[in-house]
Amino acid sequence: MGKFTPYKHKVQYYETDQMGIVHHSNYIRWFEEARTDLLEQMGIGYDKIEKEGIVSPVLGVEANYLRMVRFGDTVTIETNITEYNGIKLIVEYRVFDEETGMVHCLGVTKHCFLNEKGRPVFLKKKHPRLHKMFLKGIENKKE
């Protein structure tokens, strides 16, 4: 498994407000798109995780808006797993303009792993294959 490719997103008209600026709520959606893409690149997409009877809810989200993004802009979203211990997962995001390279938003999401009954799951013990794939993903972070 090599380095991961950052996620790219072209801003759509419906994502903007009357001034043509991206509404703040859309960054959270972009975080999810980028995280989903990262997990798929790691070989452990949400479809595979859920097939194992595991869900990974969002426990918290932070977004620091530094600059406006406008309709028609293309942003690149770099994702980085900063913490994983088999029960908890923390992912950081860096949203920057593809053309200028300027950072527009920094974010973090926090997740856990639950079984179908809503109880915490320790992947290392209950799903060692998934656990190893997460560890490999951390080792092969994006540059």
Active site residues: 17
Report which secondary-structure segment, H or E, holds 107.
strand 103-112
3-state secondary structure 65-82: ECCCCECCCEEEEEEEEE
The closest of 72, 90, 73 to 81, measured between CA atoms, is: 90
Check if the beta carbon of residue 112 is closer than 8 Å to that of residue 89.
yes
Residues 6+ apart with CB under 8 A from 83: 89, 90
Task: Indicate the length of the chain as a whole number.
Answer: 143
Residues 6+ apart with CB under 8 A from 117: none
